[in-house]
């Protein structure tokens, strides 16, 4: 079970997942609600994300492939893992092309149903001159240089609410496994990286 990996976790700061309030009922939405998890990274800091693992203790354990992940930070990103049931553990491992370093983090969600209730709160967005009534039904993992992991709930980037912030740990890395993709990454982003570096204080 993935929760055995908790010894790899180093908490960066306390999660605020227990915030929020209960709703009297589920509102009517303009689009079908599909609770899902996606992964994002900052622009110019592409990553290779291994399959994300989930566990709803006593109910189900599953995983979802992600792969190459690009732009953008604090926005719905790559992958489309369905969260049913809502997990209480999420394990993510990735390779940062900018750093040539791998990281891992096990995230514990102490009360999945409270998180679901927060995601169900209305978060209208404006599109093509119309107001679309939607919940924040996407849980986004933001992966940044230095091992910063941020968890948001949102439907579009402008509705994002940060619900957790963590620090991943470095693990054994084999950059040679990503050599071809690293060459492509440096061709696209090498000039930016040389000029700006990792900008660790931004995340």
Please tell me the predicted confidence (pLDDT) of residue 29: 76
Taking residue 180's Cβ as centre, other Cβ atoms within 10 Å add up to 8
How far is residue 8's CA from residue 13's CA, in Å, rounded to a whole number? 15
Look up residue 75 and give its DSSP letter. S
Please tell me the predicted confidence (pLDDT) of residue 123: 92
- Please name the residues in contact with 163: beta carbons below 8 A apart, sequence gap of 6 or more: 15, 16, 17, 19, 115, 118, 151, 152, 153
How far is residue 185's CA from residue 188's CA, in Å, rounded to a whole number? 5
User: Residue 10 pLDDT > 80, yes or no?
Assistant: no
pLDDT, mean of residues 133-152 = 96
How far is residue 101's CA from residue 95's CA, in Å, rounded to a whole number? 6
Look up residue 113 and give its DSSP letter. H
164-184 pLDDT, tens digit each: 999 999 999 999 999 999 999
Q: How far apart are the first and last CA of the chain?
A: 30
Please tell me the predicted confidence (pLDDT) of residue 28: 73
The model's pTM is: 0.85
78-135 pLDDT, tens digit each: 888 999 999 999 999 999 999 999 999 999 999 999 999 999 999 999 988 899 889 9
Chain Cα centroid distance, residue 70: 12
Q: Mean pLDDT in the chain?
A: 88
User: Residue ranges of the domains in the chain?
Assistant: 2-195
Q: How confident is the model at residue 25 (pLDDT cuts 50, 70, 90)?
A: low
> DSSP string spanning 13-51?
S---TT-----SSPPP-SS----EEEEE--TT--EEEPP
Cβ-in-10-Å burial (0-12, 13-18, 19+) of 9 comes to middle
């Amino acid at each position: 079970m993935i929760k055995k990996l908790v010894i790899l976790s180093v908490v960066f700061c306390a999660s605020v997942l227990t915030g929020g309030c209960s709703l009297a009922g589920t509102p009517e939405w303009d689009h079908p609600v599909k609770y899902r998890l996606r992964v994002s990274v900052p622009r110019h800091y592409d990553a290779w994300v291994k399959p994300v693992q989930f566990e709803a203790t006593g109910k189900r354990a599953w995983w979802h492939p992600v792969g190459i992940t690009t732009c953008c930070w604090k926005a719905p990103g790559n992958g489309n893992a369905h969260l049913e049931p809502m997990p209480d553990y999420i394990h993510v491992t990735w390779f940062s092309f900018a750093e040539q370093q791998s990281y891992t983090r096990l995230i514990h969600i102490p009360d999945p149903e409270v998180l679901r209730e927060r995601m169900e709160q209305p978060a209208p967005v404006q599109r093509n001159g119309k107001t679309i009534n939607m919940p924040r039904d996407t849980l986004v993992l933001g992966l940044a240089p230095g091992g910063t992991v941020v968890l948001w709930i949102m439907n579009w980037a402008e509705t994002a609410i940060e619900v957790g912030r963590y620090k991943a740990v470095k693990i054994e890395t084999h950059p040679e496994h990503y050599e071809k993709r690293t060459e492509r990454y440096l061709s696209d982003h090498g000039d930016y990286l040389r000029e700006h570096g990792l900008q660790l204080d931004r995340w």
